[in-house]
Structure 1
């Protein structure tokens, strides 16, 4: 095994510079799989010697390699999440056709069957033919032909449509007319929902449609109203915040590991009665199973600062990621932890719920993106393409794709079904901090530490517009519903509005706070912007 690696390494390093960069990327996955094969054969001493001898060849992978060097038995291969992901997901590489042909010829001529076996079993190499254009160097067209996308979306599920159309309550109502239009659009696009919604999800979808029917139509001459919530007395301890999709709840995460849930409506928060009280209730009667919980409820469970929180679309659940390396799923009916998810080895920077409330994703400082399911505490997909910390995750509206932003300045798009990268978006010059997708499913908007906001066409992965104006890190971005206005917020204490139909890329409106960096700004269903931040006075 080691001899095969030495031969391959020597040949790659002696190759012409024209091909060397393509071929060098092959050495890292081959090196790791040889090490894991030695551990799997219980040759622990040989494995450790091989690992220690050649790890100096990969100085940019030192942090990742620390997760591998603690393997001391075959059993460890089945317990380390990073190893499991590395062995079950194919490592993807792109290289020029001529470099690939030279590689295969070399392996066959030198009878390096073992290396060929690793490549066939654990790697997927895409050979590009023809000259590389500037765009291909940037990774823009690398996947467009190979992975056609299905970006069709539907606002609500089939079950929600049927519930409205079969109800006497909505007969001859404008909501019925709206749903009939949506149904025709869905049938023409042949959209089918694979995951059946729960009754509570159907109810929240009906409420969503009611609000959408009352939405304000926006343009550069008719800008949205903005409602700003300032959190006082945080003493710089507020680390993240999130507003629920229907703009009725606010969650704030803090440096001391707490999460506070606030009601943004006049109604108090409600929680399920305890078991002893529920046992006294007549099931067939109309007794209220809920009890008032006040205007603020504190969630306690994490043991480190909270870095990201997200509501489910039905407002029944909340997920949170923390410096303690765990993700927690909270019930907003009980205000308690339902499940703790453990797989990351470093702080969890980002979490996001899929619109179907079934999947959610997390990204961490260990460069891993993990897709989870609310029905299980084991990872469903493990994605290892990022070269640095995964700082933001965002699901596509049809829940079939996941976008990830990283400290390596790139945005990547993955298929949930295959865990393969299907698009790469290159244009920012610093860490990606926020992402949002349009409700039609065709556009992506991103913000970064480079102070820029970029609008992308998802299918072609090309930049449509680049908006410059913020004076500090962009914290959040959001699309309006079926209008051209995009909002962004920043550490420069401002919310800015952009018109994606305006080719000049000028800022349409800017709104400053006195001394409040806006952590989160997002459009509600009625196209009213809600934003929140801590007062830093």
Structure 2
């Protein structure tokens, strides 16, 4: 019995040893070291966290060293110190100023040298020391700096010097001049060194006279005031010139940049223009053309871009829209589909299917996440630009939807229809929120004001109405000789621009209050001016495809009428 028990015990021990050997071999292959966790003192942990925090700050010297792979900033140390010394010498010799700034030279030299040493660049540090040690006047330095200059490699002296800030008394005049020099000439590392290692105490300006008499406080204040005005004179002059230039530009009459499309073999149904992006896009039958216009930068980074042509629709394109970041271009067509293109990759990304009729209008959300489309099937649909999934179906109109737009906060959408109604929908729930039914004929265009309080709608009854979203009331009503087909707000929501069927661009002032507008309407009616409520009017001699507002000016994309050529009226 005892022999049997001993054999079982030996078998268990052997199996346990085998498991241990297998585990040890596995850990050895994975290079896991069997060590106990090291316990670090709390001070060491806090010191390491502080060091990491200083390295992560963009304006710290450690961050600059960490990201300065080519030693560019380290090489600039010598030039920064040399600029400072030459500037100080010029102020002292020519203008008798900043003499109290001289005590900064010695400590600043030592700190910059020690920064180079701590960064591991011994060769650069030695070069800095040899080139600039002669510029330091030891008579202007205190005892600690003098001792450090004599034995710069003494660890105790270096630790004592780095342990506290250098206090320098400086008057208000010198402080202003030093601040101007640092902000206009020096690198941010130079400013950081001054803020880290020096404490500049401002002293009152003392009048240097042979007889040391006290100066009245009122005279001192007057001198300091005059000094500040002299230092800031150049800045104030530049600001005044800029202010005068802005005022002169604002007094100029409102202009219009008219970009016309010529020499097209096909009928152009829709288009858009984006001057800041330097491009325009328009549809010829079932093809979409993207062309470059004159801009500060070439569109998409391509030099000498001729034109890009997308032919992914089988029938006529009715609408085109560009995202706010100028990356995504979308089109709606009579083939019941929506195409999404990437202007960076110059290819089609997705094709959206779901509408049962031609897609007449599309709009992209301000955050470039959603697409809203309106169709002849009487529905508006919300899509995800990233995935192409259908998110919402807005059903409530009983005729074709002709115009859609997103609210600036992307929580609501508006739809205009041939059934004469304008509807406001909740994007989250998909339910109708408001119904605006003042129009007497088909609605051509709807547009939210950038402030989010107003909604403009143009219809075939030759009237442009501006609704207040909170009360659903018409706050402005602009009557015209003909129908307005497209609308666009200015960035401050004070002006509304519209384009008519005959190619006339009008701008209305929507900043007037109701009572002021009633008085103005009565005055115009008594003078026999039935339609004189626009502040700007320009005939483009063409068919308007799109309106655009940027940098305080209006622009339009037009197709010339027969017998006319496009004219740039900017």
| Shorter-chain TM-score range | 0.5 to 0.7
Residue in structure 2 matched with residue 533 of structure 1 by the alignment:
558
Tell me the CA shift for residue 299 of structure 1. Answer: 1.6
* Equivalent-residue separation in structure 1 for 2:379 and 2:414 (angstroms): 13
Deviation, 1:235, is 5.4
2:484 maps to which residue? 474
Aligned to 1:306: 317
The equivalent of 2:6 in structure 1 is none
Q: Deviations over 1:336-390 (max 9, x none)?
A: 1100000001100000000010011001000111000012222100111111001
Aligned residue in 2 for 1:489 = 499
Q: Closer, same or farther in 2 for the Cα pair 1:257/1:217, shift >3 Å?
A: farther
Give, in angstroms, the shift of residue 216 of structure 1. Answer: 7.7
Deviation string for 1:436-458 (max 9, x for gaps)?
Answer: 21111111111122222111111
- Aligned residue for 1:519, secondary structure, equals strand
- State the SS of the aligned residue for 2:475: strand
Deviations along 1:464-487, one digit per CA (max 9) or x if unpaired, are: 11111242x312111112262211
Partners of 1:523 and 1:357 lie apart in 2 by 19
Contact 1:233 1:535 in 2 (8 A): no
| Structure 1 gaps, min length 5 | 1-165, 174-212, 272-289
2:273 aligns to what? 243
Q: 1:266 to 1:481 in 2, by over 3 A?
A: closer
Match of 2:333 among 322, 325, 338: 322
TM-score, scaled to structure 2: 0.50
Distance change >3 Å, CA 430–CA 415, structure 1 → 2: same
Q: How far has the Cα of 1:427 moved from its partner?
A: 1.3
| 1:17-65 alpha-carbon deviations (Å, 9 max, x no partner) | xxxxxxxxxxxxxxxxxxxxxxxxxxxxxxxxxxxxxxxxxxxxxxxxx
Q: Which residue of 2 aligns with 1:394?
A: 405
1:430 equivalent to 2:444? Answer no
Question: Could you tell me how far 1:296 is from its partner in structure 2?
Answer: 1.9
TM-aligned CA deviation for residue 295 of structure 1 = 3.3
In 2, Cα distance between equivalents of 1:353 and 1:218:
36
Q: What are the residue-to-residue correspondences of 1:17-96 with 2, within 5 Å?
A: none
Distance 1:341 1:245, change over 3 A: farther
Aligned with 1:231 (options 258, 261, 273)? 261
Q: Distance in 1 between matches of 2:271 and 2:247?
A: 27
The 3 A distance-change label for structure 1 pair 310 and 267 is same
Tell me how far apart the structure 2 counterparts of residues 219 and 432 of structure 1 sit (CA, whole Å): 36
Distance (Å, rounded) in 2 between the aligned partners of 1:233 and 1:309: 21
Number of the residue aligned with 2:168 = none
Matches of 1:320 and 1:253 in 2, distance apart? Answer: 9
Measure the CA separation in 2 of the matches of 1:339 and 1:216: 45
Query: Following TM superposition, by how much is the alpha carbon of 1:512 offset from its aligned partner in structure 2, in angstroms?
Result: 0.6
Mapping of residues 18-417 of structure 1, within 5 Å? 223-234=253-264, 237-244=267-274, 246=276, 248-254=278-284, 256-266=285-295, 291-292=302-303, 294-417=305-428
Which stretch shows the higher mean deviation, 394-403 or 226-235?
Answer: 226-235
* Alignment coverage as a number of residue pairs: 308
Is the contact between residue 279 and residue 299 of structure 2 (CA under 8 Å) also seen in structure 1? no
The alignment partner of 2:390 has SS state of coil
Decide which structure has greater helix share: 2
The TM-score with structure 1 as length reference comes to 0.53
When residues 245 and 327 of structure 1 are mapped into structure 2, their CA distance, relative to the original with a 3 A threshold, is: farther
Distance in structure 1 (CA, Å) of the matches to 2:295 and 2:470: 42
User: Any idea what SS the aligned residue of 1:224 has?
Assistant: coil
